[in-house]
Amino acid sequence: MPTAQECPRLRPGLAAAPDRQHPQFIILSDQLGLCRQPQRLNVLEFASVQLFNGRSTLRDIQAETMRQLGGVLLPLEFFVSLVERLDAALFLDGPRFQERAGNPVREPACIGTYPPEPEGVRRQLENMFTGPKGPGLPGKPLRALTQPGSPLQAALIPHLDYHRGGHSFAWGFKEVFEQVDASLFMIIGTSHYSAHRFTLTRKDFKTPLGIASTDQTYIDRLVAHYGPGLFDDELTHLPEHSIELEVVFLQYLYENRRPFRIVPLVVGSFQDCVLGNLVPSARTDIGRMIEALQKVEAETAEPIFYIISGDLAHIGPKFGDRQPVTDAQLQNSRHMDQALLKQMERADTSGYFRVLTEEGDCRRICGFPPTYTLLEAIRPNHGRLLHYDRYIHPQGFESVSFASVGFYR
């Protein structure tokens, strides 16, 4: 039981919003996905938790609350009970949270996008290959595993949920399975939760199909060449889907065939480059990552395959636009997508960046940061569009476009 001398602290990754059905309450929720059950707080409780700063004791918080309430003294038991409740929910930065956050295995965050049981996942992914929009099941690898060095270096693959974009995943992964002999996969994806430019994790990734091991040696080399800061926001990997959705496909394809390892890196916004028309590779941190990736590959004896996890345009009110998506917008967005994809097929990062800056990235190309970073690092000879599609909401609330693209030596 907490004592009057304890100094509770709210942990990172929490968000507060009014309860829409009961405005007198505040909903405290966990953006990191460690706790699925939000906490509903009344006004007094919410005022109190805002004082949970890790420096003030419960006695201090009681006194400050009394001052805010104009002399009304709440019993110490009120604060003790609140601490116990939030600690049990993993909302406080204490031993329970640290134990869960320090787990070397990342629990799945995308159950619902795919079923919770292995057979359900296998059936779902098989249907993505064999369904009306799918490419058919992968055939045998075209290159013998005794001949390392596939001409396919990397692939851009969507990270939209499987229900809307799974068939495009299948087009990309069919090419990967048939062309690639690597057992080491670096997945460089869009970061949806962190303001940091680059964020690594050492955690292994768990899904219903098993645990994908993270390659610690590669990570050690990347950190050695890049420098500090890559783990400053590591907990944002916990709710992130851009790595997990690619891992599930890898597990499905290589299950009972060969073991593989992953390197999970997410990339934050390059909006400063777009707004300032600054070549991203000229930014110190981005240039350092590009150079680090090149050095690590040179030091790694085995083949490395790179998966870029990113989508294309995001338009409509869901993403901040004022009006529902119109046919004219959709037509223009498709035209701009084709311009981007043409630059990808040329493996021209300068042209790719130019298309984005000319439109001010107004369509929110979420795959831009990881795509640019990786292509600058590996410098492929050319790309090939494998599949392109869009999800369009029936009432125009949103449209998301996505593609699978292979990049070749």
User: Does residue 339 contact residue 316 with C-beta atoms inside 8 Å?
Assistant: no
Summarised one tens digit per residue, pLDDT across range 340-350 is: 999 999 999 99
Please tell me the class of the 106-408 domain: alpha beta
Summarised one tens digit per residue, pLDDT across range 74-128 is: 999 999 999 999 999 999 999 999 988 899 999 999 999 999 999 999 999 999 9
CA distance 385 to 389: 11
Q: According to the model, what pLDDT value does residue 149 have?
A: 53
C-alpha dihedral, 107 to 113 to 116 to 118, nearest 10°: -100
Summarised one tens digit per residue, pLDDT across range 182-228 is: 999 999 999 999 999 999 999 999 999 999 999 999 999 999 999 99
Q: Inform me whether the pLDDT recorded for 147 exceeds 60.
A: no
Helix (H) or strand (E) holding 168: helix 162-179
Q: According to the model, what pLDDT value does residue 2 have?
A: 79
User: What is the Cβ-side half-sphere exposure of residue 386, based on CA atoms within 13 angstroms?
Assistant: 26
Summarised one tens digit per residue, pLDDT across range 236-248 is: 999 999 999 999 9
Q: How confident is the model at residue 142 (pLDDT cuts 50, 70, 90)?
A: low
3-state secondary structure (DSSP) of residue 171: helix
Q: According to the model, what pLDDT value does residue 141 have?
A: 74
Summarised one tens digit per residue, pLDDT across range 38-84 is: 999 999 999 999 999 999 999 999 999 999 989 989 999 999 999 99
DSSP string over 41-92: E-HHHHHHHTT-BSSS-HHHHHHHHHHHTTSPPPPHHHHHHHHHHHHHTT-B
CA angle, residues 274, 277, 280, in degrees to nearest 5: 70
Q: According to the model, what pLDDT value does residue 31 have?
A: 87
Q: According to the model, what pLDDT value does residue 140 have?
A: 79
Q: Can you give the residue ranges of every domain in the chain? A: 14-101, 106-408
Residue from 124, 123, 115, 98 nearest 207 by CA: 115
| Bridge-based pairing state of the strands 152-157 and 399-408 | antiparallel
Summarised one tens digit per residue, pLDDT across range 289-347 is: 999 999 999 999 999 999 999 999 999 999 999 999 999 999 999 999 999 999 999 99
How many CB atoms sit inside 10 A of residue 408's CB? 16
CA 21 to chain centre: 31
Q: Inform me whether the pLDDT recorded for 144 exceeds 50.
A: no
**Chain-wide mean pLDDT for the chain?**
94
* Across 373-402, average pLDDT: 97
